[in-house]
Structures are given as structure tokens and as C-alpha cells.
Amino acid sequence: LDKSHTQSTAQKILWLLKHRPGHLYQTARGLILFHWSRCSRNVVALNGVTLAENVRLQKNSSLMAESPSAKITVGENSIIYEDARIEAYGGGAISIGADSIIGDAHIVCRYSVQIGKRFLSSWNVFIQDYDSHPTEQSLRQRQVEGMIDSFQPRFVNTLRRIKLAPEEWSFPGEDIIIGDDVWLGAGVTVLKGAQIGAGSIVATGAVVLKGNYPANSLIAGNPAKVVKSLTSPAS
């Protein structure tokens, strides 16, 4: 019987501490980063995540840079809204320019995701610079078995399974570059190797694949194409 709604906050925290310590750690880390960056007039750096001056990190957002090499940097005055998830793994590096607004985007990186200044991402935006799973069925089968095994108790005999070695498959991907003043509409997906020029707008629902999309373009559709050129603002 789920009694979670009748539990006090202290009981909930104790339950989380016992059953979900990782979750509690991520939440506490997000809260510390949020309040630290609000109070601080300096750069805030914690476990591979660097927030420039006056970055606002709203509730339920998380920034996770895998130790020891992954990095995330967010430029000054940027706002990371509720429910955004920004994750860098391995040697991945995510950089977000100053004065950017990130909605509930999910950004996942193993190579490089470089985003310019005054970036605007709407809701449900997905950016990933690598493929998580092999397209070849037998390799995928072994990867999935390895993932399942890693959650099994130690006494389960997993010797029958041949684990997928990094030299057989290791997350193919390519850098993503998004220029200054780009707006990604709701539900946009940006995949490995996409280079979106400065001043461009990606229309809602577009799936942007590998390619070079020139500055000041309106990009739309699946697969996304440049549908018209936008005039650049007067300088």
C-alpha cells in the first residue's frame, strides 16, 4: 500500500536516503547549485559543472557531468527552466552561451554540444550528439544483456553472456554546433553532426539531422530542411 502521501517530509527524506540515495544526492546538488548561483557574484563550479555569474537554475533541473572528464559550462545570466536535464558523459563537453533560456530540454553529450549566446529552447527539446545503442541487432542484444546484468545481484551467473567491449562499439557521434541567437521551437530534436547557423529558427516538431544549416534560416520538417531564409537584424 502506498502511504507516501501520509508521510512527513522527514520520513520522505529518510525513505529516500535508504532507498534512493542517488536521487537525493542529485536533488540536493541541484538545490545547492541553484542557491549558490543566485547568491554568488562569482563563477560557481562543482564536479565538472561551471555556472557563470547570475545563472538561474529552476527546480527539478539537473546538470550532470560524469567524472572525471565530462564538462558543462553555462554562460552568465542564463536561465535553466524547470525540468531541464543536461548530461555530459565520458569526455563530453556542453557549453551554453550567455543570456540563454533553456526550457525543459534534454541535452545529452559524449562529444561536444556547443551552443551560442541568447539561445532560446522551448519545451520538450531533445539534443543528443551520439547514438546510445548499436543499430546492428547482435551488438544491441549484447549491450542490452550487459545493461540488464549490471543491475543483477552478484550471485546471478552471467558468465554465459559475452559483454560488448568498447572496441566493438563505443557510441558513434559527432559534435553539434548551434550559433548565437538560435530559437528551437517546441518538440524539436537535434541529432549528431547538426550545425545550425546563427540567427536561425527551428520550427516546432522538426528533426534536425547531420548537416550544415546556414545562418538566418527557417528550418522545419522531418528530416528538417531550410524552408526559407530569414532577414538578419540590423547591426
Q: Which residues bind ligand COA (CB under 6 A)?
A: 122, 185-186, 201, 203-205, 218, 220-221, 227-228
Q: How far apart are CA 141 and CA 153, in angstroms?
A: 20
C-beta separation of 122 from 185 below 8 A = yes
Judge contact between 96 and 78, C-beta under 8 A. yes
Pick 146 or 187: Cβ nearer ligand COA: 187
Whether cis (ω within 30° of 0) applies to the bond prior to 166 is: no
The pairing of strands 176-178 and 194-196 is parallel
Cβ-based nearer residue to ligand COA, 13 or 218: 218
Query: Which is nearer to ligand COA, 45 or 218 (by Cβ)?
Result: 218
Q: Which is nearer to ligand COA, 35 or 228 (CB)?
A: 228
Mention every residue, 6+ apart, whose C-beta is less than 8 A from residue 178. Answer: 113, 114, 115, 116, 119, 190, 194, 195, 196
CB-nearest residue to ligand COA:
185
